[in-house]
Structure 1
Amino acid sequence: MTFKEIKSSFRSNLSPFFDEQEIDSFFYLVLEKFHQLKRVDLALQPSLKVSESGLEQWNAVLEQLKTQQPIQYILGETYFCDLVFKVNEHTLIPRPETEELVYWILEELKQKNQNYAIVDIGTGTGCIPITLKKNLPESTVFGLDISEEALSVARENATTNEVEVKFMQKNILETSDLQHQFDVIVSNPPYVRNLEKAEIKTNVLAFEPHLALFVSDDEPLIFYRKIAELARKNLKQNGLLFFEINQYLGKETVELLQNLGFATIELRKDIYGNDRMIRASVD
């Protein structure tokens, strides 16, 4: 069977679940992962064939995609800020919106050779602290998470990307002090309310860890309040707090930070036009 025929099979089998553009993106991700071939290679050699054993791999991926399992979990990895990160069922899949948050932090920390102290709370794959350490090699970077399974993945990702990040298991809601003073505290905590589950796609709802996604409708800002309170204690003078936020709760999150005494607060939209990121400073 040719790769062109496999692509056609992907489209016909997956069209009930995904649009054509997304199906094609799956196809090319698998093509590169399994065969180290890119779109241009196939365009130049349209009659390329796959071996029998290779076809079995493709069919296995197709069956998993038909259950709407995320392609990143199927392949076991994803890209974030041009780095490769291992992912599994214990970690959220890093999103483009979180890349925007990381780039914003890097914009703020312009003196690349300075030794900043940075902590990421709810680190998951470690994509935020690892990317920051990669771009700010002189900095001391920490990553905290409640899940030891997620931290195991994060440690592996740090090794793969050749950086040193200090990962620690911690339940942030039961933490009274971070034990260090930081230049930057960043978090992309759980923020999806249960009432919003109807908006969540099956591939997220059925496969990604709910512990890292959902908060109760009664206390949707519980993590933001706790982390902001810790930031008041553990940020250095002129330190910065960065959050990724629920797009529906931008105003409420800003008000929370104002009430806790933060000074300059900036709310930014993501590439999709949704309220998604906040920066606040301690004077």
Structure 2
Amino acid sequence: MSFRNAALALLLSSSAAVAQDTDVATKYITFNDVDADATQVARKMYGRFYRMVEAERVWLEEPTESYDQMVVRLGDNRKCDPNCGVVALYYIEPDAMWLEVWRGLGDAVGIGDVGMDGIRSIHADDGRVWKWFSTSYSPQVLGDVYESRVAKEDEKRAAYGVLNARSAPPEGVEPPEFLAFDVDLKSGDETVITARSLYYCGNGPCPLIVLDGDNKAIANFRTYAEDFALEPDRDEEGYRLIELSIDDGIGVYSVGSGERVKTIGLMPVLEAGREKPL
């Protein structure tokens, strides 16, 4: 689905699950090659909010006649003190409207691969990747990512104990596909187990179970992707926070309490210049 349908996001809300995969920035916009015409257009929208407005034209979608796209750096001064922000804009010609499809802090931005919907990903200055899904940019997990291995039998038994705590699956149900990840959450010997199957996942999120060094379950979550990431920040019990894909973006969870402590939501699509974005 193209940006031409993104104007619907001004009227409709949409939540979607996205899977994280490898995505490399193919171009970095550092605003060393500012486009004068694009900057003039951007200043009309953002000049009342910021002293510095600089724009470069980019192709977030494959080149299409008459549909303009740009990224704009915004700041109170050219030194970006205390900081600058970047917004990505797309022009909807039938509606004569500039849409602000992404915004983030920083003085540069990366443009990545073309996704399934034909829209390029955006790499924020903090390293987080945002991918277009349906009608908005969706955040991907950011932090230490671990390689999977085949789960051991004792790890599977521990995971089954969590999965079947309430009731055993009906006879004939295929066992889930278990993957194990050796992680350092607190003591360095923890394991994350993911389970994928139609029975346990259905059309929703799949189980993700955290085991300690003795293969005792210490947390149980659900996520839409096998990918997860560990943040450097820790919860009150000393466990590193874990990022998971959820309905409305990325959920940051405490392993100690099992509670969600933060949400990194889907990027709202707004009419550009209506309000100060950052």
TM-score (norm 2): 0.28
Structure having the larger proportion of residues in strand = 2
Greater length-normalized contact order (CA 8 Å, ≥ 6 residues apart): 2
Q: What TM-score, normalized by structure 1, do the two folds share?
A: 0.28
